Structure formats: C-alpha cells, structure tokens
C-alpha cells in the first residue's frame, strides 16, 4: 500500500511498484488462462479483446474503489491533499500490488482465486460484448462442453398483461444456477443466463484450486 509519494518522505521505505509489476503479470496470465479454457470457440483476436476489456486501468480502478483500497493507501502529504486516494491510476496500481502480494504469499492458486472472484462477472460481460454472442448462447456452449446437455429455463410471470414481470430460472444438470427478471421472457432468460455464467465460471475456478491443492 506504500505509494512512491509516501516513500519519498520516509527513509529507506520501498514502494509498491515492484509488487505492482508482479501483480500485473499474474493478473494477465490468470485472465488469459481463464478465457482460453472457458471459451474454446473464441479466436485469438477475440481472446485478446476479452482480456483487454478487463485487464485495464479503468476496470482495476473500479474494483479497487469497490474494495476501498484508497482508504488503506500510504500517500505523501501532497498526493493525499491532491485527491490521490481517488486517482484511478494509483488505485489500479495498488490493486495490482495486492495481487502480486497474494501471489507471493499464497502462490498461484490463491492469486487465481482472488482474480477470478473479482473479475469473473466482468469477463462474462466482456465475452458477450464481443458482438457475436449473447449470454444465453455462451451459457449453452459452456454447459454443452461441461455437462453434455442443454440448459433448461423455468419461467413464471406476475402482473397484468400491460405490465408483466417475468422470472426465469436457469437449470443446469438439475441444479438452479441463475435467476433473472425482466419485462419479457427473452430479457429474463438473458439475465438468468448471465448469473449462471458467473457462477459456473467461479465454481470452475474454485474447483480447479481444490484439484491442484488436493
């Protein structure tokens, strides 16, 4: 958490820049490995675009803000007074430093689990946003690959004809994986598929960690 502005005011205190360097490399590999294994139909260019959509300063700064990392930063007086705790570049660098520290302390699987817990939902949206596929299509392909069977959607609706709300439940291998709601069946199913994709991606990450650790 030690920013170089703070280190400049201290004596022989290292900044988080070396950890940031390491965390950046670990982050990139985790995401590249995840999209490569999870989306076999994507081309090299699409894999690159999916990775870039989540491994960037804007995305990392948003995550760091959600984790309140700014509150934990050690900043120089001038940088702190200038709003450094909310500066996107500083927040993104700090998050990379945290990933690097987790990698050093807990190894590859600990870092992998951390990254995918933070980014799996954003990866799902990034892949769906490539322009060729929606969440339902992505889920169907993933489920066919992992379970060899189709996704089943259970639909229900409430409200009058002019103002209905639909609820869709995505069931995979007999287990409800996602629930979504919307003003139409299609939008409810898309919402349910998105949740199911996020959960399956995270489950796969955790299962992979257990397999390796076991």
Q: What is the structure's pLDDT at 214?
A: 41
Number of H helices, E strands in the chain: 8, 3
Tokens of 65: 């803000």
- Whether 119 and 205 have beta carbons less than 8 Å apart is answered as no
Per residue of the chain (214 residues), give pLDDT as tens.
Answer: 989 898 888 888 899 999 999 999 999 999 999 999 888 878 898 899 999 989 999 999 999 999 999 999 999 998 889 888 898 999 999 999 999 999 999 999 999 999 998 998 888 888 877 755 678 888 888 888 888 889 999 999 998 887 889 999 999 999 999 999 998 898 899 899 989 988 887 776 666 544 434 4
Q: What is the structure's pLDDT at 158?
A: 93
Q: What is the structure's pLDDT at 168?
A: 95
Q: What is the structure's pLDDT at 131?
A: 59
Q: Which of 20, 79, 93, 96 is catalytic?
A: 96
**What is d(CA 62, CA 75) in angstroms, rounded to the nearest whole number?**
19
Q: What is the structure's pLDDT at 38?
A: 83
User: Domains, the chain, ranges and CATH?
Assistant: 1-133 (1.10.1520.10), 134-214 (3.30.160.20)
Among 115, 92, 93, which residue's Cα sits nearest to residue 103? Answer: 115
Q: Which of 20, 24, 93, 198 is catalytic?
A: 24
Q: What is the structure's pLDDT at 133?
A: 60
Q: Is 173 a catalytic residue?
A: no
Q: Is 125 a catalytic residue?
A: no
**What is d(CA 210, CA 56) in angstroms, rounded to the nearest whole number?**
29
**What is d(CA 54, CA 75) in angstroms, rounded to the nearest whole number?**
26
Say what the pTM is: 0.69
């Amino acid at each position: 958490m030690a920013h170089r502005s703070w280190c400049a005011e201290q004596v022989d205190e290292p900044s988080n820049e070396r950890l940031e360097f390491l965390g950046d490399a670990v982050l990139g590999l985790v995401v590249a490995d995840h999209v490569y294994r999870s989306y076999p139909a994507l081309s090299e260019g699409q894999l690159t675009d999916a990775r870039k959509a989540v491994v960037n300063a804007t995305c990392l700064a948003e995550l760091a803000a959600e984790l309140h990392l700014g509150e934990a930063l050690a900043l120089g007086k001038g940088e702190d007074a200038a709003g450094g705790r909310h500066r996107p570049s500083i927040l993104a660098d700090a998050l990379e430093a945290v990933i690097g520290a987790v990698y050093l302390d807990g190894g590859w699987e600990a870092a992998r689990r951390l990254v995918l817990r933070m980014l799996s939902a954003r990866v799902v949206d990034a892949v769906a946003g490539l322009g060729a596929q929606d969440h339902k299509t992505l889920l169907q392909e993933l489920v066919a690959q992992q379970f060899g069977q189709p996704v089943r959607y259970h639909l229900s609706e409430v409200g009058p004809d002019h103002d209905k709300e639909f609820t869709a439940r995505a069931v995979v291998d007999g287990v409800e994986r996602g629930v979504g709601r919307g003003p139409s069946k299609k939008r409810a199913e898309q919402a349910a598929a998105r949740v199911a994709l996020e959960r399956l991606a995270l489950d796969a990450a955790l299962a992979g960690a257990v397999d390796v650790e076991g």
